[in-house]
Amino acid sequence: MHLNKNPYHKTMKKYLLCLIALCLSYMTFAQEQIKINIILNEQSDATTLSREASWLPTQQERRTYVVETLKHQAEASQQELMGLLRELEQHGLVSDIQPLWIVNSIRCYAAKDVIHRLEERSDVMTVYQCEEIQELFDEEITRTDLGDNREIAENLLKVNVDKVWELGFTGQGVLIAIIDTGVEMSHADLQGRLWDGGTAYPHHGYDFYSQDDDPSDTQGHGTHVAGTLVGTGASGTRTGVAPDAEIMVLKVFHGEDNLSEATLWVEAMQFALDHGANVLNMSLGQPLPNPSVKLMLRQACDNTLAAGVVAAVCAGNTRQLQMLAPVPNNIWSPGDCPPPYLHEDQLVNAGGTSCVICVGAVDNNDVLGSFSSEGPSTWTDVTQFNDYPYISGSPTQIGLIRPDVCAPGVNIKSLDFNTSNGYCLKSGTSMATPMVAGTIALMLSKDPELTPAQIDEILENTAIPLSSHKSNDFGSGRIDALAAINAVGYTGLEERGINVQVYPNPTHGHVSVSCEGMSQVYVFSLDGKLIKQAESHGNECRIDGLTNGVYVLNIETNDGVITRKIVKL
C-alpha cells in the first residue's frame, strides 16, 4: 500500500486540525468564569510582624517595615501560582487576576474546572466564590436646614468635640480613609479636606468596584460619613468631628443598588496602608459571612494592626433581625473582629487582637439605637483562629464582647450628596462610626505616635459608662472626645520619659519586656500570688513558662514600679 501524497489531502488535513483546535478553543473560552479568591497557606504571623516592627523608632518606619514585609512574602509565595494563572489566562480559562498582599491571596475569575484544580494545590489554603451582597445601610434620610454659620451639630456637642477644638486639636495632619460608597467631592463643606493623590489619583481616591480613579458618590452614604468626619461648616453647620483632617475616598460599592463584596474592602484597606492613611473608617459590613470570608477579613485586620493603623468599624444594623442573624452572629464582619486592646472584662475569655474598634449607636439621650447590632461574636467557626468560644449563659465562654464603644448615631445631621451645600439626617451604626474615627483623628493630632492599642484603651476607659460592665449593647460606653484627648499623653511614669514595651500581648509563647532602667519583673496571678520573678539583662527581660491565663507584671525601674497586664493563650 502506498501513502497518498496528494497535496490536496494535506491541505484538507491541516484545515480540519485547525478547525478542531478552533472549536476546542471556542468551547474553552465559552466556559463560564466565576469570581473567586484564592487564599494561600503561607500567611504572615501578625504578632511576630508587630514585635519586629516595634523596635523601629517611629510609626511611619514601623508601617513601612510591615507593608514591605507583607509585599515580599506575597510576591515570593505567589510566584508559581501566578505563573499558572497567567498561562491559563492565555487559554481563556482565567481573567482579571489581582494579587493581594495584605492577605496573601489572589482574586480572579476562573472556569469551574480550573477552580477544582486550584483547590487541590498544596500551597492553597482555600478557594471560595466572591459573592456580591447588597448592603443594608438601613438609615432613614430626612432633608434639613443649612444652619446659621455658627451651628455645631448636636452629636458633636454631645461628645464635647467643641471643647477639644478649643484646646487646638482639630485633626490636623491626620489622613482618614473612608471605605464606603464614595464621596460627593463638590460639596462646599469638603473643600480643602480631600487627599491629594497626585497625578495617579487626581480624584482623591479610587473606585475598587469599577476599577477606575473616580470614586464619586451615587448613593449618599459615604458623603454623609465624610461630613461627620471632616465637614467644615462652610454651608452653615459644622458637622465634622475633625475638620482639619483629610479624607482619602475609597469606593467599594456599585451605584444605587449598594452591591459589593468583601475582597474589595480588603483591597481598599491595602491601598490605604500603602498610601499613608492613619485611620480607616469602615461603615460597612457583611452579615453572616462564610468562614472563608471571615478568615480573609480577620487576616487583613490583623495585618493592619501590625502596621500600626486602627479602624473604626460599624457593629451593624440587624439587632431586630435576630431570627435571621441570631447572637453570636448578629454583628457584621469585620466588626466582629477583635479590638487592639482587651478590656479587663474580656480577659476571662481572651483571644487574639486586630485593628478593629467596633462601634454601636445611641441617640443623643444615650438610649441604645433600636437597630444597633448585638454582640457577642465568636471565632470558633474559623479553624485558623478558633478563639473567643461562646456558650450562652457561660460565665467564662462569653465570646468576644461587641461593640467596644458606642457613639451618637440617631438622626445625625451631615452632608447631603444631592446638593453642593445641603444637609440631611440619617441614622445607623454607620453614622456612629465616623464619630469614633473622627475622635481618633483628634487624638492623633495631639500624639501621632499613639498605637491602636493605646487609642482603643483610652477610648474605652474614658467613655461614659452606660452599663455596669463592658456589655454587648454599649461596649464600654459612649465616647467622650474631651476626656479621651485629656488622657492622651498621661500614662503615669511614662510621662516622665519611661517607655515600656510588653510584647507579644496576648502571647502564645514567651513575653518580652523592654524598658530603660529596668531591674527585674515580678509576675503575679490575678489573685495576687507571685508566680515568677525574672531579672533583666540590660534593658530586656524575657518571661517563659507561663500557663494559659491572665497575669499582672510589676516592672521595677530606677524611677518606680510600672504595672502591666498580660494574657497567655
Which pTM was predicted?
Answer: 0.85
Report if residue 449 sits inside a domain: yes
125 and 139 co-located in one domain: no
Contact 452, 337 (CB under 8 A): no
| pLDDT exceeds cutoff 60 at 186 | yes
For residue 147, the model assigns a pLDDT of 63
Distance CA 250, CA 214 (A): 9
* Nearest CA-CA partner of 466 in 348, 560, 363, 557: 363
Report if residue 64 sits inside a domain: yes
pLDDT band at 28 (very low <50, low <70, confident <90, very high): very low
Read off the pLDDT of residues 269-316 as tens digits, 9 standing for 90 and up. 999 999 999 999 999 999 999 999 999 999 999 999 999 999 999 999
Report if residue 25 sits inside a domain: no
- CATH assignment of the domain containing 541: 2.60.40.1930
Report if residue 19 sits inside a domain: no
Report if residue 521 sits inside a domain: yes
* Nearest CA-CA partner of 403 in 343, 324, 482: 343
| pLDDT exceeds cutoff 70 at 10 | no
Report if residue 18 sits inside a domain: no
396 CB-near residues (< 8 Å, 6+ apart) = 348, 349
| pLDDT exceeds cutoff 60 at 494 | no
184 and 63 co-located in one domain: no
| pLDDT exceeds cutoff 50 at 16 | no
Report if residue 248 sits inside a domain: yes
169 and 119 co-located in one domain: no
Strand, helix or coil at 127? strand
Q: Among 109, 130, 151, where does a domain finish?
A: 130
295 and 179 co-located in one domain: yes
For residue 139, the model assigns a pLDDT of 53
Cell numbers representing residue 119 in the block: 483547590
For residue 559, the model assigns a pLDDT of 73
pLDDT band at 554 (very low <50, low <70, confident <90, very high): confident
For residue 137, the model assigns a pLDDT of 55
224 and 236 co-located in one domain: yes
Quote the number of domains for the chain.
3
User: Strand ranges (DSSP E) for 321-460?
Assistant: 356-362, 405-408, 412-415, 423-426
Backbone phi, psi, residue 116, to 5°: -60, -40
Lowest mean pLDDT among 134-143, 166-175, 273-282: 134-143
The dihedral built from the CA positions of residue 244, 245, 250 and 253, taken in this order, carries a sign that is: negative
Q: Among 63, 97, 130, where does a domain finish?
A: 130
Share of the chain above pLDDT 70, in %: 90
69 and 157 co-located in one domain: no
Helix residue spans in 413-451 (DSSP H): 429-446
Q: How far is CA 111 from CA 24, 33, 211, 237, 332, in A?
A: 15, 4, 22, 53, 30
Read off the pLDDT of residues 364-408 as tens digits, 9 standing for 90 and up. 999 999 999 999 999 999 999 999 999 999 999 999 999 999 999
Cβ atoms within 10 Å of 347's Cβ, excluding its own:
15
434 and 510 co-located in one domain: no
Report if residue 17 sits inside a domain: no
502 and 425 co-located in one domain: no
Lowest mean pLDDT among 20-29, 188-197, 490-499, 501-510: 20-29
Mean pLDDT, range 61-84, rounded to an integer: 97
Read off the pLDDT of residues 334-354 as tens digits, 9 standing for 90 and up. 999 999 999 999 999 999 999
157 and 286 co-located in one domain: yes
Distance CA 287, CA 377 (A): 12
| pLDDT exceeds cutoff 50 at 152 | yes
Q: What is the DSSP string of 20-52?
A: HHHHHHHHHHTS-EEEEEEEES----HHHHHHH
- CATH assignment of the domain containing 436: 3.40.50.200
Mean pLDDT, range 24-35, rounded to an integer: 64
The C-alpha angle 262, 268, 274, rounded to 5 degrees, equals 145
Q: Among 68, 100, 130, where does a domain finish?
A: 130
For residue 553, the model assigns a pLDDT of 86
Contact 447, 174 (CB under 8 A): no
- More reliable by pLDDT, 457 or 19: 457
84 and 185 co-located in one domain: no
| pLDDT exceeds cutoff 60 at 127 | yes
Contact 378, 399 (CB under 8 A): yes
169 and 200 co-located in one domain: yes
Distance CA 479, CA 241 (A): 12
67 and 149 co-located in one domain: no
- Give the structural domain span for 522: 495-568
For residue 360, the model assigns a pLDDT of 98
